[in-house]
Amino acid sequence: MKNLIKEVLPGSIAEEVGIEPNDILLSINDKEIDDIIDYRFLAVDDELTLQIEKPDGEIWDVEIEKDYGEELGLEFGGGIMDKAKSCTNKCIFCFIDQNPKGMRDTIYFKDDDSRLSFLQGNFVTLTNMKDEDIDRIIRYHISPINISVHTTNPELRREMLNNRFAGAVYERMERLAKEGIQMHAQIVCIPDINDGEELKRTIKDLYKLYPYVNNVAVVPIGITKFRQNLKKVRTFTKEESKKTIEFIGEMQKRFYKEVGEPFVRLSDEFYVVGGVDVPDAEFYNGYSQIEDGVGSIRYFRDRITSDLKDLDLNKGGSYTSVTGALAYDEVKSVMNKITEKNNKIKIDVRKIINNFFGETITVTGLITGRDIIEQLKGNIDTKYLIMPDNMFRRGYELGTSEVPVMLDDTVIADIEEALNVKVIVCDYSGDDLISLLNKHNEEE
């Protein structure tokens, strides 16, 4: 039910004034609440009148005085109060269209909701937004917005997204920039389609909107073995990856001179495939695009090097660490630094081949539980199995489930039972790895 209050936090203002779970929030200061965005922006005022509908249908007008910005303590089901807006595109690179049949329903749902962009960092295409949706972003100054651009060539974008409304993205971004809305841009790059000169054009167009478009992430297309009846595309070769790094590097030099930062950054996959080492930490400027795989290798490498001084040298333990093919050499190198620092620790790094989606999918975050079980069963002799948390899905796509679930619905208990091992879930960026080792190691 829309605007249904799922939880009232203990000790909160809402609890004090008698609001309870299963009440419905109708309005704030006589303004109807359509979704979480209305609630977030209207609830910040210091004087509020909330109209609440109780389960028996009785309507309460609740007056509240509080500090400006102080939280009311209300939690709503579904995160955004209503259903997420689904994507109306049929993108030629869409990963969801490359999933096998028989997975949970939420796997096949394509969100394209600006509210989730603001709240959870999801990327949106802007194609299913009406002018009034853009007006609301401007009115509430919803910022930043993460936008899947892919190309600023209107005709090509309509072709790539298979949507006749997709060509107006740059016009909308210009309007948002004019109103001071911050934007992060993403480009899924496909050889022979939006790479090369088309990629240069897109980056140059987006740069015209700097600093409102304040960074651009370029990621290569991912191709599974389930692309039947979809447009034929291919991945980047080693030489193409190197060439892309080179010409983007020339653009970055220009941007450095003009604004003091590279503006556009390539995901780590380009560097690994191209056989080129990743840039240093300063290049990534706080790693704001790390969720796109931009800078994750550098961050992981530097973080472990920095944290090695905290490693307890009096304890030891045995671990198996799983990773995808793309990051295998890097993970193995980092784990070797740990075992060299403390030879009481044994870490066996295993490369998991993605048989589920196909060997062309090499990133760690798309590994399934069944591939881990099939490739390690009877072939693991350590007490612990280290798994990065980006292998698991949480949040709105799982409904009310709080249990971490992998893409194929495998849960931690399934892996522990099948492999007779204790699973340790580590931050994929390595933030907590050393502390986890210290916690689980034992005195020798």
Q: pLDDT tier at 351 (50, 70, 90 boundaries)?
A: very high
Residue 396 pLDDT > 50: no
Q: Output the six-digit token pair for 188.
A: 């899924």
Q: What is the CATH number of the domain that holds 270?
A: 3.80.30.10
Share of the chain above pLDDT 70, in %: 90
Alpha-carbon distance values, 15 to 39, 295, 326 (Å): 17, 43, 50
Residue 85 pLDDT > 90: no
In this structure, the strands spanning 183-189 and 145-148 are parallel
Q: Is the pTM of this model over 0.95?
A: no
| Unique residue bearing structure tokens 């309460």 | 60
Instruction: Indicate the SS3 state at residue 380.
Output: coil
Most confident residue range from 40-44, 392-396, 399-403, 410-414: 410-414
Q: Single out the residue of 223, 234, 220, 333 nearest to residue 271, CA to CA.
A: 220
Q: Are residues 392 and 329 in the same domain?
A: yes
Residue 410 pLDDT > 50: yes
Instruction: Indicate the SS3 state at residue 376.
Output: helix
In this structure, the strands spanning 145-148 and 345-351 are unpaired
Domain C-terminal end among 294, 326, 342 = 294
- For position 367, what pLDDT does the model report? 95
Q: Are residues 47 and 124 in the same domain?
A: no
**Comparing 30 with 118, which gets the higher pLDDT?**
30
Q: What is the CATH number of the domain that holds 52?
A: 2.30.42.10
**In this predicted structure, which of 113-117, 245-249, 385-389, 437-441 has the lowest mean pLDDT?**
113-117
Would 83 be classed as within a structural domain?
no
- For position 123, what pLDDT does the model report? 77
- How large is the average pLDDT for residues 402-419? 90
Q: Are residues 290 and 307 in the same domain?
A: no
Residue 399 pLDDT > 50: no
- How large is the average pLDDT for residues 420-435? 94
| Unique residue bearing structure tokens 């841009």 | 185
Domain C-terminal end among 269, 294, 319 = 294
DSSP one-letter code for 78: T
Residue 160 pLDDT > 80: yes
pLDDT tens for each residue of 295-327: 999 999 999 999 999 999 999 999 999 999 999
DSSP line for 252-298: HHHHHHHHSS-SEEE-HHHHHHHT-PPP-HHHHTTTTTGGGTSSHHH
Determine the structural domain holding residue 11 and report its residue range.
5-76
Q: What is the CATH number of the domain that holds 380?
A: 3.40.50
Q: Are residues 184 and 232 in the same domain?
A: yes
Q: pLDDT tier at 117 (50, 70, 90 boundaries)?
A: very low
Looking at every residue in the chain, the average pLDDT score rounds to 89
